[in-house]
Amino acid sequence: MDFSFLEKLGVNKTNAGTSTGLNAFNSKTHISSYSPVEGALIGRVSVTSEEEYQNVIKTAQAAFKTWKTMPAPKRGEIVRQYGEVLREHKEALGRLVSYEMGKSLQEGYGEVQEMIDICDFAVGLSRQLYGLTMHSERPKHRMYEQWHPYGVVGIISAFNFPVAVWAWNAMIALVCGDVCVWKPSEKTPLCAVACQNILSKVLKDNNLPEGVSCMVTGDYKIGELLTQDTRIPLISATGSTRMGKIVGATVASRMGESLLELGGNNAIIITQNADLDSVLVGAVFGAVGTCGQRCTSTRRLIIHDSIYDNVKQRLVKAYNQIKIGNPLDENNHVGPLIDKDAVAAYQNTILEIEKQGGKMLVDGGVLKGDEYISGCYVKPCIAEISAESNIVKQETFAPILYLLKYTDLEEAIYIQNNVPQGLSSAIMTNDLREAELFLSVEGSDCGIANVNIGTSGAEIGGAFGGEKETGGGRESGSDSWRAYMRRQTNTINYSKTVPLAQGIKFDL
């Protein structure tokens, strides 16, 4: 493997540090990052010690004093510069994302493009952090609301979007006037070091304090330092529902704010009025893309019984043509799972499907041979199973697709909603009534509901997130910025008296 992309990103292969500039290189413990592509050691990153953590938070707090008083459009200018430098590093960073996480090279580039797009969005937003004005009930009074930054925002991120999800949070939080401390996934630390290095340089070139954006590295224990820390008013956490339940409870117990982006169990309803050619593309990409490791991956197809056999046959045929292998080779459709634990979870789910009465239509299995030396390559598979089975209601972060049958649309919508998660959903139909019912209050209960496109992926312009066990948070576009700011209502009296609200009299 040619590792020159690491040099281009300024990532030192033997000890990447944590890039906080706070003696992180002295740490005694390290995380070794192995590529799921070929099992090779890519580099090591020091784990943040307790003492370093305290320094990072103090540095971030000090930086907040400068950053919060900078006019928002000036903060936007820094984010604009970061977006420009990301454009220069897109090739190298996209390659690192692909090699460290295992997604296809195109998807690696796509992730960096999302970072660039959110920078552009945040630059415009820096001039649009609007509050409302209200008519006061009292004469010569003016009422309005304004938004102030929270302070230090903790960002905990998952392995599957090792760079984009941080950028969705950080770029918006930064223009809002917050400073950020990032705890990336321990499975993809080098991607994080690269992003942080590039941003640190932009800050330095502008004579801004390094604490505007910091990073701490390690496993969940470092994450816990953030979630328990009363100096951090907002925690944005992306990851499993299991993690989100712990993080949500910990942050709530200290009356902090949390923004949770957790697991999904996404379904596509395919009606008898669907255009089956486009269904197939959306369904197969949604189920096998990123080896089923997107929070928005399609996990369930709910198919009308009149077309069920036809869709089933076409899916089985399409699955038999899928090429699995090195994700840096553009001829392959599916790369590896992140690690051996993920492979074990995939195998356990297949056993469970059979125990719960399911039938495999396309068999799974772990691939062996030189091309699959990391041991993380698995076969995307399809199972036919009852919608009521427990296993169907769980998120397995792997390319396992469930086929479920329905007779009328109300039943399909019931099946779609009858899982604990509520992230992404879709209907495939050319019938306006079916589409509108699905989008109506009687339809999908998810944060994302699409018509004639699959569940997977999202544009940065919309608010991204989901309901129920997906956590309820919204980040990225639309008015998601409000989650990163505190609201203040202001009333100004420019009369010569002090009238009380609700007509209350208090004569002295």
- Rule CB under 6 A: choose which of 59, 104, 160, 374 binds ligand NAD: 160
Dihedrals phi, psi of 232, to nearest 5 degrees: -115, 100
Q: Which range touches ligand NAD (CB under 6 A), out of 66-74, 159-167, 203-211, 429-437?
A: 159-167
370-408: burial string, b at 16+ Cβ within 10 Å, e else:
eebebbbbbbbbbbbbebebebbebbbbbbbbbbbbbee
Give the pair of three-digit tokens for residue 441. Answer: 């209050």
Spell out, one character per residue from 407 to 446, where the chain touches ligand NAD: x when CB under 6 A holds, - when not.
----------------x-----------------------
CB of 475 to ligand NAD, least distance (A): 7
Tokens of 273: 């009025």
Of 27, 185, 217, 444, which one interacts with ligand NAD (CB under 6 A)?
A: 185
Binding segment for ligand NAD among 51-59, 129-137, 153-161, 361-369 (CB under 6 A)?
153-161
Mode of pairing for the β-strands spanning 298-304 and 257-261? unpaired
Task: Please give the size of the binding site for ligand NAD, defined by CB under 6 A.
Answer: 30
Residue 439 CB, nearest approach to ligand NAD (Å)? 20
320 is written with which tokens?
A: 């038999």
Note whether 411 and 251 are within 8 A (CB). no
Stretch that binds ligand NAD, among 74-82, 155-163, 371-379, 382-390 (CB under 6 A): 155-163
Contacting ligand NAD (CB under 6 A), which of 31, 92, 158, 392? 158
Residue 264 engages ligand NAD in binding (rule: CB under 6 A) = yes
CB of 144 to ligand NAD, least distance (A): 33
Partnered with residue 304 across adjacent β-strands are 406
Pick from 186, 229, 434, 469 the residue near ligand NAD by CB under 6 A: 186
Q: Are 198 and 1 in contact (CB under 8 A)?
A: no
Q: Across the strands, what pairs with 401?
A: 382
Q: Which of residues 221-250 bind ligand NAD (CB under 6 A)?
A: 223-224, 227, 238-240, 243, 246-247
Residue from 183, 299, 405, 468 touching ligand NAD (CB under 6 A): that is: 183
> Per-residue DSSP letters for 177-245?
T-EEEEE--TTSHHHHHHHHHHHHHHHHHTT--GGGEEE--SSHHHHHHHHT-TT--EEEEES-HHHHH
- The CB-of-408 to ligand NAD minimum distance in angstroms stands at 30
Residues with active-site annotation: 261, 295
**Maximum C-alpha span of the chain:** 90
Q: Are 90 and 198 in contact (CB under 8 A)?
A: no
Residue 295 interacts with ligand NAD (CB under 6 A)?
yes
- Using CB under 6 A, list all residues that contact ligand NAD: 156-161, 165, 183, 185-186, 219-220, 223-224, 227, 238-240, 243, 246-247, 261-264, 295, 395, 397, 423, 470
